[in-house]
Structure 1
């Protein structure tokens, strides 16, 4: 196994303490948003092959694909790491965004190449040709808005907001005008002109959702005037915890991005609140915004992000709208045992419906004290989880793996090697090293101190 170094990403929305503490970095007041364990060509991690010999991970994989990622992975995805693993920490909300599906990523990447947009340009949207789906496992309390909620939920929230733009969005969703007045011209021709070709077969509900979403992300700063006050007032009348959470997300975004009307889209979406160990899977095309918290994030090996608002970065509204999934669906929790997740005494496996990646979140303790997360998992899934936690489920043993210690110390072992890791340290475990286990670092003098937590990123085979 090889030591692997993370690539820091210092975006404005990042935490000023969380990742600095985990990775033993100075907390100098500068935000640190993400730490990438990456095989992506534009931001590759370095691996230490032998003492003093370092190499970018993509090059190390190309030099020995069968050893590094294994023949099965190489035949399926090529001589690359098929996933991108990150630890992220959001201090304030980050962008309303969508990731493209495969054909859209390829078309966008090639179009920007033809247009001569450099890969490192701040106005570049497509960094590669890969579809991008992703999953987050919360390491602290974590809030997000994911996918469109039901039309009834969106209408209830928008109706409570005494603001002209909210009224227009409500009307776009098919509601009757309030007090028989028209909220501006009932003309959504601009939104209709930006719909993808597939919209010719969309149900009416999708067209209405698209129009309402478009109203918010295409609105000017002048049209957003008075939104923070209107949202705060509407929050007072919210009658359900889900509605209150949606307003809390919108208010936090409005405070972070004054004058940005796209915050109203959060009232149309599913508000998600994750405790440590909870997770959510976000398929390509799903609109989403992270609001606050620290989590382990894994995705296909892609850096394609299309933003529509709540950001200081480049907005690509036209391409985002071409990729937007307007279906109303609930958040997907890959820790649901029906999706193939297994719960053991000290580890939870998260296997979303993706061929490229999975995660395991575990805890080891030489004193054999219980892990509190397991209690909450048992409560959520009842007897099934209680039964599954007693079974044996090995860590993935045939593909490329990244093991990160997130707390304390752990001992990572494979068929040929072993490495003790402290918090913030990670190793890349090549496919040809076979079985993998993570155990406590035994300290006979202080068994109470021999504990730690860890994340394993891997392919699901």
Structure 2
């Protein structure tokens, strides 16, 4: 086991307080801090501290994939198949979806043939991998995720009482299924600017009127979110598209799983995120970055979904697990109490142990490693019998490892 130093990523939507506070650094930070990467992604790998120096986790695994990844090395091409992050969103992220494995391979090869540079801002596919992802809330976490059941969306539109919205309401009401959602979403995301300039303000005025009404309002969160998004991204068609999505609030400890094709946008909050080791993102709005509507439409899944919340399940070893179908990763959480003794970290390696509260002591074969809040450790497949112990109060750790069947 080795200390793992995360790679800090700064984006405009990040927080100047959340990551700094978590990691025990001065608040506020000099720049918005959005993500802390613990993984072996070529764009920004974490670094492993060893007795002879520091090296990137990417190079560390590549030097001896069998030792670090064990029997799973051939299946994943000798590479760590997941990326673990801490994500801190102060402002909304872009409206986006991720491709399936087949779509990612085809898109990557297509852009390679077109000789689009890997670092080009116009590039959609930076690798050939899909990107299923799971985020677990560390504090209250707000998001948009997946298309809402169409009948419910029709109820929302009618509740807003916007005459300019009537034809679009009937468009969905007459075909309340995935095909109807595709038609309406495509219509809105490609609206001519003069039409958008009339429709969007009318919808926003409807949201204001709705929120100012008396009595309990069934769509308060949806209306407020539309107004917040419009303030951050004025004139963006993605504000209309956001009205089609499930509005999700995660309480600490709850998770949200997103598979290929699920349109989503994280709005605000602090969470632990784990995903397949990919950086492929198709954006549909709410961003100054590259938006490729035809390619987004190619990968989107318009089938309505229920709220895709993942609740922790007792795993029988003192941890809770977050069950997903992803073969690349699995995530468990241990809540440790000082004085309760050493807790074995079942299936710890190959993987990453991330501390999100307190301080934990990791022990193995007479050696120990202290891991504080916001810090992590790399556990290779060759490491066995890793145990954890809370130090100076309660502690919380997340263990990221390979998914089911590995």
Q: TM-score, normalised by structure 1?
A: 0.80
Deviates more, 1:324-333 or 1:125-134: 324-333
Q: Contact (CA 8 Å) 2:254, 2:312: kept in 1 or not?
A: no
Partner Cα distance (1:433, 1:235) in 2: 56
Matched, 1:243 2:214: no
1:49 deviates by 2.5
Structure showing the higher strand proportion among its residues: 2
Q: Contact (CA 8 Å) 1:143, 1:272: kept in 2 or not?
A: yes
1:300 deviates by 0.6
Matched, 1:427 2:377: yes
Structure 1 residues 400 and 154, CA, compared in 2 at 3 Å: closer, same or farther? same
Matched, 1:222 2:223: no
Partner Cα distance (2:168, 2:267) in 1: 22
Structure 1 residues 284 and 108, CA, compared in 2 at 3 Å: closer, same or farther? same
Q: Which residue of the partner structure matches residue 84 of structure 1? A: 83
Question: What do residues 59-109 of structure 1 show as CA deviations (whole Å, max 9, x unaligned)?
Answer: 2111111111111x2122121111011110111111111000011111111
Q: Which residue of the partner structure matches residue 377 of structure 1? A: none
Q: Which residue of the partner structure matches residue 390 of structure 2? A: 440
Partner Cα distance (1:400, 1:165) in 2: 56
Q: How does 1:305-324 map to 2 (within 5 A)?
A: 305-324=281-300
1:344 deviates by 6.0
Q: Which residue of the partner structure matches residue 123 of structure 1? A: 122
Partner Cα distance (1:157, 1:414) in 2: 56
Q: Which residue of the partner structure matches residue 350 of structure 2? A: 400
Identify unmatched segments of 5+ residues in structure 2.
none
Matched, 1:94 2:93: yes
Q: TM-score, normalised by structure 2?
A: 0.90
Partner Cα distance (2:6, 2:214) in 1: 42
Q: How does 1:37-436 map to 2 (within 5 A)?
A: 37-51=38-52, 53-71=53-71, 73-163=72-162, 166-175=165-174, 205-219=177-191, 220=193, 222-223=197-198, 224-236=200-212, 243-335=219-311, 337=313, 342=315, 347-366=319-338, 395-397=345-347, 399-415=349-365, 417-436=367-386
Partner Cα distance (2:33, 2:349) in 1: 30
Structure 1 residues 260 and 416, CA, compared in 2 at 3 Å: closer, same or farther? farther
Identify unmatched segments of 5+ residues in structure 1.
176-202, 369-392, 442-448
Partner Cα distance (2:18, 2:104) in 1: 32
Secondary structure (helix, strand or coil) at the match of 2:360 reads strand
Q: Which residue of the partner structure matches residue 14 of structure 2? A: 14
Partner Cα distance (2:120, 2:215) in 1: 45
1:149 deviates by 1.3
RMSD: 2.4
1:454 deviates by 1.6
